């Protein structure tokens, strides 16, 4: 499984990338997309929505089941990956790239240091 | 847990496995969607060795089938297959099965995977004079399905199977039995042979470019084609009139459960299987609540239709109702549209 070194992770198989000051990009990991199987629908978050930590961020339907994705850190949705509405398969094809969910503006970027690093996440999935 | 004799081949092909009716079978190789579309657009093969099958032979074989099963075997002839039901005295569906009629007194009975032993025991108890041989331990079964399946089967087995017909042929010098049946809504056939020959046939199928497909695609294909899943879309408390399986009842002969069915027919059913589709990509799932015109039910089967690219489902509602149903998906009542089966047809 692909676990990029520069990202942070949650036990719920989300990845977090600090893209700008106090702004994180969120998606699900290669491990998660693989376990879900073919993704056919993504209920994406709404722009400007304020989310608490662990609040429901997105729902992902696959041919096998449905999975819920939670906000890894509290924040406000400042960008949404619109392409997922018509191309949910991007989640399978490029989970760390074109398959991202949304960007959250967070209060304090230091909060993400509480999340798992690549080594810890890799250990979790082994 | 039982395994197919072809289990190792599946592993080498990258299959993931699932427990289905006590069998550990491939659920997918690379992608359910890819496998689904592969079958709709070309040809795919499935290992369905978990399916039940036994020989039913002798002077009493035909009469016992007539009295045990809802469809009338006398309405077909040797060389044909028939879809039929095993009911209980209350008219509930114990299993749906296929009968392959080989010759005068020689039949194969094909129940579902998890009901194989129950059906075999029931048959043996009710007709002890008929010879029965459990075929499952000594054979494998493959389904070859898709618009290109008939020509591929012709190339490999010398037979392009016609719908609902049976054939005895050979592959690599070994006997092979097949019928023009399947569970995908596509042309093709289901093939039974010994495990070693089955392995060689799989190699030939792969060589010819037929896509290995798992139970995941088998489920989305059968649902799109409007084919019901025993134990999920009906069970022993569902009668065939409720499930829309009237076509599998031969009213002209006596069979177990007929009396109960006749009274249902005269009074009318209190619920009926309803097919519906959703406009968005939200997906109805087994167990979701369903309602229409004050009638409430549950989704028995639901999934994303890869060909139609929206959610489709089945569930029971009170008749008569022409009203479009609603389905509750994670707390939201989504509007659905009542449709006729099959959901998808070429």
Segments of chain B assigned to CATH 3.30.70.1400: 50-123+239-267
Domain with CATH 2.40.30.110 in chain B: 270-346
Residue A59 CB-density burial (10 A; 0-12 exposed, 13-18 middle, 19+ buried)? middle
What residue ranges of chain B are covered by domains with CATH 3.30.1360.120? 2-49+139-224
Of B28, B280, B330, the CB nearest to A37: B28
Contact B321, B311 (CB under 8 A): no
**pLDDT attached to residue B211:** 98
Cα separation of the two ends of chain B: 37
pLDDT for B346 equals: 83
Residue with tokens 């499930």: B243
Distance from C-alpha of A112 to C-alpha of B35, rounded to nearest angstrom: 40
Q: How confident is the model at residue A1 (pLDDT cuts 50, 70, 90)?
A: confident
For chain B, percent of residues with pLDDT exceeding 90: 95
pLDDT at B175 over 90: yes
Whether the CB-CB separation of B298 and B276 falls below 8 Å is answered with no
Contact with chain B for residue A38, Cβ under 8 A: yes
Confidence at residue B91, expressed as pLDDT on a 0 to 100 scale = 98
Cα within 13 Å of Cα(B106), Cβ side: 4
Q: Which pLDDT does position B165 carry in this prediction? A: 98
DSSP H or E segment with residue A91 = helix A90-93
Burial class (CB in 10 A: 0-12, 13-18, 19+), B148: buried
Has residue B42 got a pLDDT over 90? yes
The answer to whether residue A126 sits within a structural domain is no
The arithmetic mean of pLDDT across residues B78-100, rounded, is 98
Average pLDDT over residues B60-85: 97
* pLDDT at residue B136 is higher than 90: yes
Q: Which of A60, A63, A93 has the highest number of chain B CBs within 10 A, making it the mutation to test binding with B?
A: A63
In angstroms and rounded to an integer, the radius of gyration of the C-alpha atoms of chain B is: 20
**Contacting A residues, span 86-125, partner chain B, CB-CB under 8 Å:** 88-89, 92
What integer pLDDT is reported at residue B150 of this predicted model? 98
Question: Nearest CA of chain A to the CA of B291: how many Å?
Answer: 22
Quickly state the pLDDT bin for B330 (edges 50, 70, 90).
Answer: confident
Q: Is B287 helix (H, G, I), strand (E, B) or coil?
A: coil
- The yes-or-no verdict on residue B240 having pLDDT over 90 is yes
Q: Which of A43, A59, A63 sits opposite B304 (nearest CB)?
A: A63
A43 to chain B: which residues are within 8 Å by CB? 282
CATH class entry, domain B50-123+239-267: alpha beta
C-alpha distances out from residue B313 to A106, B273, B289, B302, Å: 40, 10, 11, 4
Residues 6+ apart with CB under 8 A from B282: A41, A43, A61, B311, B329, B334
Specify the DSSP class assigned to residue B57: E
> What pLDDT is attached to residue B344?
97
Phi, psi for residue B72 in degrees, rounded to 5:
-95, 110
A4-44 pLDDT, tens digit each: 999 999 999 999 999 999 999 999 999 999 999 999 999 88
- Cβ B85 vs Cβ B69: under 8 Å: yes
Residue in B275, B182, B190 with CA at minimum distance from that of residue B226: B275
Asked if the model's pLDDT at residue B321 lies above 80, the reply is no
Consecutive H or E run containing B18:
strand B16-20
| pTM of model > 0.90 | yes
Share above pLDDT 90 across residues of chain A, in percent, rounded to a whole number: 88
Closest CA to B54 of B103, B108, B115, B121: B108
Residue B319 pLDDT greater than 90, yes or no: no
Q: Pick from A43, A59, A63: which is nearest to B216 by CB? A: A63
The model's confidence at residue B242, banded by pLDDT at 50, 70 and 90, is very high
Q: What is the DSSP string of B191-210?
A: EEE-HHHHHHHHHHHHHTTP
Residue B282 has pLDDT above 90, yes or no: no
Tell me whether strands A56-62 and A66-70 are parallel, antiparallel or unpaired.
antiparallel
Q: What is this model's ipTM? A: 0.82
Residue-level pLDDT at A65: 85
Number of domains in chain A: 1
Our CA-based measurement puts residue B201 at a distance from the nearest CA of chain A, in whole angstroms, of 28
Under an 8 A CB cutoff, do A37 and B31 touch? yes
Burial of B95 (0-12, 13-18, 19+ CB in 10 A): buried
B245: Cβ contacts below 8 Å, ≥ 6 apart: B85, B93, B96, B228, B234
Residues of B within 8 A of A41 (CB-CB) are 280-283, 304
Question: What percentage of chain A has pLDDT greater than the value 70?
Answer: 100
Chain segment B139-173, per-residue pLDDT in tens? 999 999 999 999 999 999 999 999 999 999 999 99
Classify residue A116: in a domain, yes or no: no
pLDDT average, residue stretch A115-126: 95
Helix pair B32-41, B215-224: axis angle to 10 deg: 50
Q: What angle do CA B118, B122, B123 make, to 5 degrees?
A: 120
**Size of chain B in residues:** 346
> Is residue B280's pLDDT more than 80?
no
Domain span at residue A70 reads 8-108
User: For B194-208, what is the mean pLDDT?
Assistant: 98
Let me know if residue A92 belongs to a domain. Answer: yes
pLDDT number for residue B137 = 97
Cα separation, B284 vs A124, in Å, equals 32
Looking at every residue in chain B, the average pLDDT score rounds to 96
CATH architecture of B2-49+139-224: 2-Layer Sandwich (3.30)
Measured between CA atoms, the residue of chain A closest to residue B308 is A40
Q: How far apart are CA B271 and CA A86, in angstroms?
A: 37
Q: How far is A90 from chain B (nearest CA, A)?
A: 14
Distance separating alpha carbons of residues B245 and B293, to the nearest angstrom: 24
Domain presence at residue A93:
yes
d(C-alpha A95, C-alpha B57), whole Å: 56
pLDDT at B327 over 80: yes
Which CATH number characterizes residue A94's domain?
Answer: 2.40.50.100
Q: CA–CA distance from A28 to each of A17, A81, A91, B147, B167 (Å)?
A: 11, 13, 8, 37, 50
Residues 6+ apart with CB under 8 A from B19: B1
Q: For the domain made up of B270-346, give the CATH fold.
A: Elongation Factor Tu (Ef-tu); domain 3 (2.40.30)
pLDDT-derived band at A121 (thresholds 50, 70, 90) equals: very high
């Amino acid at each position: 499984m692909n676990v990029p070194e520069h990202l942070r992770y949650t036990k719920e198989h989300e990845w977090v990338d600090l893209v700008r000051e106090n702004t994180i990009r969120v998606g699900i990991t290669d491990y998660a997309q693989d376990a879900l199987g073919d993704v056919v629908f993504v209920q994406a978050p709404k722009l400007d929505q304020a989310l608490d930590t662990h609040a429901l961020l997105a729902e992902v339907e696959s041919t096998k089941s449905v999975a819920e994705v939670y906000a890894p850190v509290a924040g406000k949705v400042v960008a949404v990956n619109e392409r997922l509405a018509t191309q949910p398969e991007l989640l399978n094809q490029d989970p760390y790239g074109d398959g991202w969910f949304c960007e959250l503006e967070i209060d304090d970027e230091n909060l993400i240091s509480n999340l798992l690093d690549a080594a810890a996440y890799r250990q979790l999935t082994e | 847990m039982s395994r197919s004799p072809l289990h190792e081949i599946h592993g080498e092909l990258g299959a993931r496995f699932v427990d289905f009716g006590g069998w550990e079978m491939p659920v997918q190789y690379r992608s359910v969607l890819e496998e689904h579309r592969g079958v709709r657009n070309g040809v795919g093969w499935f290992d369905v060795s978990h399916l039940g099958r036994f020989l039913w032979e002798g002077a009493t074989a035909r009469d016992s089938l007539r009295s045990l099963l809802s469809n009338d075997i006398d309405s077909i002839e040797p060389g044909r297959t028939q879809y039929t039901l095993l009911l209980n005295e209350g008219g509930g569906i114990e299993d749906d099965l296929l009968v392959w009629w080989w010759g005068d007194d020689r039949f194969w009975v094909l129940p579902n995977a998890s009901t194989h032993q129950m059906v075999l025991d029931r048959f043996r108890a009710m007709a002890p004079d008929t010879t029965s041989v459990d075929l499952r331990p000594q054979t494998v079964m493959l389904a070859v399905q898709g618009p290109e399946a008939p020509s591929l089967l012709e190339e490999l087995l010398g037979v392009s199977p016609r719908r609902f017909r049976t054939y005895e042929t050979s592959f690599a010098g070994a006997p092979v039995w097949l019928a023009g049946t399947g569970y995908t809504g596509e042309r093709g056939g289901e093939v039974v042979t010994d495990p070693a020959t089955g392995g060689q046939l799989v190699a030939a199928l792969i060589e010819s470019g037929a896509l290995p497909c798992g139970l995941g695609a088998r489920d989305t294909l059968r649902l799109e084609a409007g084919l019901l899943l025993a134990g999920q879309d009906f069970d022993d408390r569902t009668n065939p009139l409720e499930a829309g399986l009237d076509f599998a009842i031969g009213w002209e002969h006596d069979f177990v459960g007929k009396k109960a069915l006749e009274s249902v027919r005269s009074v009318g059913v209190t619920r009926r299987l309803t097919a519906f589709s959703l406009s968005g990509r939200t997906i109805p799932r087994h167990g979701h609540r369903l309602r229409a015109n004050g009638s409430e039910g549950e989704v028995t089967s639901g999934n994303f239709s890869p060909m139609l690219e929206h959610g489709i489902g089945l569930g029971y509602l009170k008749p008569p109702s022409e009203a479009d149903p609603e389905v509750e998906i994670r707390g939201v009542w989504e509007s659905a549209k009542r449709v006729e089966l099959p959901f998808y047809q070429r």
